[in-house]
């Protein structure tokens, strides 16, 4: 039984999603879980695979080869989610090669892994599109067809050689022909001796004919569990005859769907459902008694069970190591994948470079006439430095936040399959951002710096570029930390600008240090904008003189760099201090992001074992 609590306050109630289900799946067979929308198919599949999200109660017993689901269960099963979460910038072969590399131990050897990938490609009918980019998702690349993407997704999971394969709606979103191809591929997978369990909503008749067994659900109750070919006969015996030349799947779904259009029709269909559920429970119980009296064991339809043997794939449930490879190997593989992704994302790379170049050109144009000798000219320089610091801070933070939010679906799926550790992924992904950060900011600095009146020495230019690069990398780390702390992408995107505005306030530009309330003085120490502006200002104004005073000041009047730094609250500071602050913040934000990512691992609901020794319900024949 699976139930959740819904509603708030007085409207709080317990909702039963699955009730009194039982079943058995055998190796070499394809079991389809079918039912109308909302009948509990996905919940049942997740419950069997141990992937129900936390928040609710799950009671029952799930056994594999007579043993309760234990720590080794994950290593012999694979789960294909309804959405094909793959990286669009890798080809089908690269996607599968990566999966083989990361999920199989190094001892298997590269040649054997490549051979295995080729076999999976052949087996799933992907040879024609093996070297085509997967496409779709967040990329603008067209890529392979929906059916090929789905089969690639299945291939990724098959590479871990599972004995038991769960698939949630493998045909959803596919046209009839693609759906047929996918299901035929699954039949071939089952033919290797694996147990395949999939949910399906409305299969065409040729797909229905591929199922060995059928589990029919309606409103969380079992209405039929047995040979798919025998379902029509079973319901005909109960007075519900499938018309000739009719798709049995359509007939069954019409029969077991609740008609919500009118109160009367809803009551009538619910009553029919109750009677069908009752009839099946009686039939299953009679069959169990007969089997018991024949000495074949006593199947029970009361507890949710699934018993899949494991002759076809990875063997028994002996606990394997948590990860197939060591952290160094994971790091290299993940770094390789991230590098490929970054280098293939041409449109994004060009857009980012153009963005920085255009902003830099606008700054250069607007500030090209500023001069220290003009009254208040130093204020223009401060504004320009502040704008540079804000642009870099904002750009880097939003960029990394969006990037990691978009990748999250794939990484969550990979982490749920225990493909790799967080550390190697995090390190590989962030290292790949470094060259981009350097190129972008060198371009930005080169356009802005020499066109405006900033400190015209080579050393000052190099330091300017180093400060913006460091600030950029710190901003990236902050973006990652926000995306890790706030798991919901849209909320994270709303939080990020607020954080920037908050940090901007304490950067030293809008409010001088002296005016900030003492209780908030510490905020500047966690602001990369503060250190960015500090580094840029100290680099620009230190050792310079001859700045004209603002209009209105008693003339003649001149300021030197130290006076201006003092106005900004940076008197006595050095560029080294700014670098140190940025490096420490970068480290701190990265540690925060890493820890949050680790803590935010996918969590699933534990199973309360209700009937430990019950025999699984055998399918009706």
Ligand X SMILES: Nc1ncnc2c1ncn2[C@@H]1O[C@H](COP(=O)(O)OP(=O)(O)OP(=O)(O)O)[C@@H](O)[C@H]1O
Give the binding site for ligand X (CB under 6 A).
4, 6, 15, 17, 35, 37-43, 55, 201
C-alpha closest to that of 101 among 272, 331, 387, 286: 331
At closest approach, how far in Å is the CB of 505 from ligand X?
Answer: 40
83 to 147, 150, 198, 312, 407: CA distances (angstroms): 12, 8, 14, 26, 14
415 to 47, 261, 570: CA distances (angstroms): 18, 43, 46
At closest approach, how far in Å is the CB of 2 from ligand X?
Answer: 8
Distance in angstroms (rounded) separating the CA atoms of residues 503 and 393: 10
Cβ closer to ligand X: 2 or 367?
2
Cβ closer to ligand X: 40 or 301?
40
The distance of Cα 283 from the centroid of its chain, to the nearest Å, equals 43
Cβ closer to ligand X: 38 or 375?
38
Local structure of residue 38 (DSSP, 8 states): T
Distance in angstroms (rounded) separating the CA atoms of residues 144 and 150: 10
Cβ closer to ligand X: 38 or 336?
38
At closest approach, how far in Å is the CB of 172 from ligand X?
Answer: 8
Report H helices in 11-145: 41-49, 73-76, 92-103, 110-123
Cβ closer to ligand X: 4 or 387?
4
At closest approach, how far in Å is the CB of 52 from ligand X?
Answer: 8
127 to 124, 130, 565: CA distances (angstroms): 8, 5, 66
Cβ closer to ligand X: 215 or 324?
215
At closest approach, how far in Å is the CB of 199 from ligand X?
Answer: 6
At closest approach, how far in Å is the CB of 182 from ligand X?
Answer: 17
Cβ closer to ligand X: 39 or 305?
39
At closest approach, how far in Å is the CB of 348 from ligand X?
Answer: 33
Distance in angstroms (rounded) separating the CA atoms of residues 253 and 276: 13
Cβ closer to ligand X: 6 or 494?
6
C-alpha closest to that of 220 among 524, 1, 461, 457: 1
Local structure of residue 169 (DSSP, 8 states): -
Cβ closer to ligand X: 17 or 116?
17
330 to 74, 112, 324, 419: CA distances (angstroms): 19, 18, 9, 9
CA dihedral 213, 217, 223, 226 (to 10 degrees): 10
Distance in angstroms (rounded) separating the CA atoms of residues 366 and 447: 12
């Amino acid at each position: 039984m699976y139930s959740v609590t819904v509603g708030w306050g007085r409207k709080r109630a317990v909702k039963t999603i699955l009730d009194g289900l039982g079943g058995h799946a055998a190796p070499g067979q394809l079991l389809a879980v079918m039912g109308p929308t909302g009948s509990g198919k996905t919940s049942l599949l997740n419950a069997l695979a141990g992937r129900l999200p936390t928040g609710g109660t799950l009671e029952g017993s799930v056994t594999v080869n007579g043993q309760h689901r234990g720590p080794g269960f994950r290593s012999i099963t694979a789960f294909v989610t309804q959405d094909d979460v793959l990286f669009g910038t890798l080809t089908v072969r690269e996607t599968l090669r990566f999966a083989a590399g990361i999920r199989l131990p190094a001892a298997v050897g590269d040649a054997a892994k490549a051979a295995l990938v080729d076999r999976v490609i052949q087996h799933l009918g992907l040879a024609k599109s093996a070297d085509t980019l997967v496409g779709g998702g967040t990329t603008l690349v067209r890529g392979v067809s929906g059916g090929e993407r789905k089969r690639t997704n299945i291939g990724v999971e098959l590479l871990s050689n599972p004995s038991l394969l769960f698939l949630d709606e493998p045909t959803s979103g596919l046209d009839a022909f693609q759906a047929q191809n996918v299901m035929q591929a699954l039949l071939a997978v089952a033919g290797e001796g694996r147990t395949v369990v999939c949910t399906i909503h409305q299969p065409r008749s040729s797909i229905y004919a591929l199922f060995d067994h059928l589990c029919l659900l309606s409103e969380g109750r079992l209405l039929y569990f047995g040979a798919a070919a025998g379902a029509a006969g079973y319901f005909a015996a109960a007075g519900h005859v499938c018309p000739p030349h009719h798709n049995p799947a359509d007939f069954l779904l019409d029969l077991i769907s609740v008609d919500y259009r009118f109160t009367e029709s809803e009551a009538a269909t619910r009553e029919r459902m109750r009677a069908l559920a009752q009839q099946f429970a009686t039939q299953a119980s009679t069959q169990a008694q007969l089997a018991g009296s024949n000495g074949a064991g006593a199947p029970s339809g009361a507890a949710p069970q699934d018993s899949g043997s494991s002759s076809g794939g990875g063997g028994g449930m002996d606990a394997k190591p948590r990860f197939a490879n060591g952290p160094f190997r994971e790091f290299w593989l993940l770094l390789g994948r991230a590098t490929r992704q970054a280098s293939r994302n041409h449109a994004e790379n060009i857009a980012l470079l153009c963005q920085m170049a255009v902003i830099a050109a606008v700054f250069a144009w607007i500030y090209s006439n500023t001069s220290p000798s003009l009254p208040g000219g130093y204020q223009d320089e401060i504004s320009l430095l502040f704008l540079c610091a804000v642009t870099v801070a904002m750009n880097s933070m939003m960029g990394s936040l969006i990037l990691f939010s978009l990748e999250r679906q794939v990484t969550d799926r990979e982490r749920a399959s225990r493909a790799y550790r967080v550390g190697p992924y995090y390190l590989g992904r962030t290292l790949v951002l470094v060259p981009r950060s350097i190129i972008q900011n060198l371009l930005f600095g080169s356009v802005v710096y020499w066109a405006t009146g900033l400190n015209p020495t080579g050393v000052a230019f190099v330091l300017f570029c180093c400060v913006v690069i460091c600030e950029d990398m710190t901003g990236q780390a902050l973006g990652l930390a926000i995306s890790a702390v706030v798991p919901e992408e849209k909320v994270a995107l709303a939080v990020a600008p607020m954080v920037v505005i908050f940090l901007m306030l304490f950067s030293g530009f809008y409010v001088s240090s002296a005016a900030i309330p003492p209780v908030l003085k510490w905020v500047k120490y966690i602001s990369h904008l503060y250190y960015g502006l500090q580094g840029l200002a100290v680099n620009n104004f230190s050792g310079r003189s001859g700045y004209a005073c603002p209009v209105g000041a008693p003339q003649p009047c001149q300021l030197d760099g130290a006076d201006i730094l003092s106005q900004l609250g940076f008197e006595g500071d050095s560029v080294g201090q700014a670098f140190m602050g940025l490096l420490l913040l970068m480290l701190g934000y990265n540690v925060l992001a890493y820890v949050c990512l680790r803590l935010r691992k996918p969590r699933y609901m534990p199973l309360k074992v209700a009937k430990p020794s019950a025999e699984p319900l055998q399918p009706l024949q």
